[in-house]
Amino acid sequence: MQIKNVERLRRRCEVRSVAIAEVEKALHGTRAQVERQLLQRLNDALVYAWSHSPFYIDRFKDKTIPERVRHIARGSVGAFQQVRPTSSSWDGEGAWGAIPFTTKEDLREGYPSRFLAVPWSRVTRYGESTGSSGAPTSAFMTEQDWERGSVWLELSLLEHFGPQDIVFIAVPYELSFAAPDLDGAFRNLGAAVVAVGSLNSVCPWSRTLEMMCVLKPSVLVCTPTRALRLFDMCLEAGKVPSEIGLRSILYVGEACSPAKLAKLAAAWGVSLTTAYGATETNALALPCHHDRLHLLEHRFFFEVIDPNTHAAVDDGCLGELAVTTLGHEAMPLIRYRTGDAVVVDREPCLCGLGFRTIRHLGRLSDAIAVDGHGLLKAELENAVLNVAGTGVYCVSGVNSGRLEVFVQMIDDERVVAEAVASDIAARFRVPAVVRRLDTRDVGRLMDSMLKPGGVSFEQVREAVETVR
């Protein structure tokens, strides 16, 4: 080993120290200070993207870049977010609104490296989307990008976990940012990490369950539906779930209704914590000790827009989340439309952090269109699972022009079905056909899926019809 390499290790430690200092500064900032810093960070981020990213260099090569975003905003982030495009020019008040959104299709067309803004020698982490909804997209991180996110994750997890915990991480490690990030964060917290992963030949779900019964983890990291499926598997194996000793589930990778989450917590007898992110950015929002998800507003500029008109919507209203990265070296993104339905809240949190909070309500593409209504999966699921006598699984879709709902029932089928149909009609003004769903109808489907919450209506309908 050469002594000069020690200096290289020291420089890596310095990157982490800088990231920690940035976090400390953000923790002491008021909401007003957060907004003032956003303007400068945003301007710098735009200039960086326009001068380093091949995609944005090409997109904006014939445009005049505004000299200072803060001048457009007139010193107010609130006003800045409300700017509407008044023309196709880049000058004056309409400049921000005239900046086109970046879409998932842009990322697909730019695969693999049109969005890479640094030499490959500076990339320390590469990832790809699963490709389950189309061609894969790529994502990149430098050491600085990674550490800036990781220190926030560790700080957030410290509010809930520590050296006393044994943590099973049951999410995909392959081509993923989330699993390695969580793995490293828990390790730095002093917890014992068991990297079981998801849907792999080394550790199938049967082995994961066996290990849980032997090692007695206190924390499980997975999607909500996976946690419920593991609970079912435990019962099917003749084991008692409470004897495993779980105290907490950190659920990621899937939007879930409050009703389903409440049933998950009650089934396992645990507390629930969550985090929210995207393949292209890693974590976007993390929980505080009051269990509110705070947007990481020193690392991203967030907009909530009407997905049809693209106009900004007010805090507290449902819309689509768009993200602009701040200070990301490897893969800057400008106004990236996540496709996620969210509600952002400006109400101050008791934890004192000056960042707004968010509720994630699922993918807009998962909405069910029936009778001129667009029903979000999470909102429909919440209504169904709040009906007395329902279980934990609910899958809905349109069949012959009518809303059809498959739901697990633990009481009289006729009574529960009528109650669910009545509640849907009252809440959404849509008639529904409600049918019983048995876990045996979907268990095998979920066990073969990377994201079991993504079991489709067509798959369930086919499985049910095959059994019957």
Give the residue among 132, 105, 174, 102 at the shortest CA–CA distance from 328.
102
368-370 and 373-375 strand pairing: antiparallel
What domains can you pick out in the chain, each with its CATH number?
A: 4-142+292-364 (3.40.50.12780), 160-287 (3.40.50.12780), 367-467 (3.30.300.30)
pLDDT at res. 315: 92
Separation between Cα atoms, residue 395 and residue 335, nearest integer Å: 32
282-287 vs 293-295, strand pairing mode: antiparallel
Task: Report d(CA 189, CA 315) in Å as an integer.
Answer: 34
| First-last CA distance in the chain | 67
pLDDT at 90: 41
Q: What is the predicted pLDDT for the residue at 391?
A: 96
Alpha carbons within 13 angstroms on the beta-carbon side of residue 443 total 15
At 70 the pLDDT is: 40
DSSP at 354: -
The CA angle 204-206-210, to the nearest 5 degrees, is 120
pLDDT digits (tens, 9 = 90+) for 412-460: 999 999 999 999 999 999 999 999 998 887 888 888 888 889 889 999 8
Mean pLDDT of the chain: 89
Q: With CA atoms as reference, report the closest residue to 225 among 456, 465, 463, 452.
A: 452
Tell me what pLDDT residue 468 has: 58
**What integer pLDDT is reported at residue 91 of this predicted model?**
41
Mean pLDDT in runs of 10 for the chain (468 residues)? 72 89 89 83 87 93 54 45 37 65 97 98 94 84 96 96 98 96 97 96 95 98 96 96 98 95 98 96 96 95 95 94 97 97 94 94 94 90 97 95 96 96 96 92 85 89 75
Please report, to the nearest 10 degrees, the dihedral formed by the alpha carbons of residues 249, 250, 252, 256 taken in order. 50
Q: For residue range 69-79, list pLDDT tens digits in order.
A: 444 444 444 44
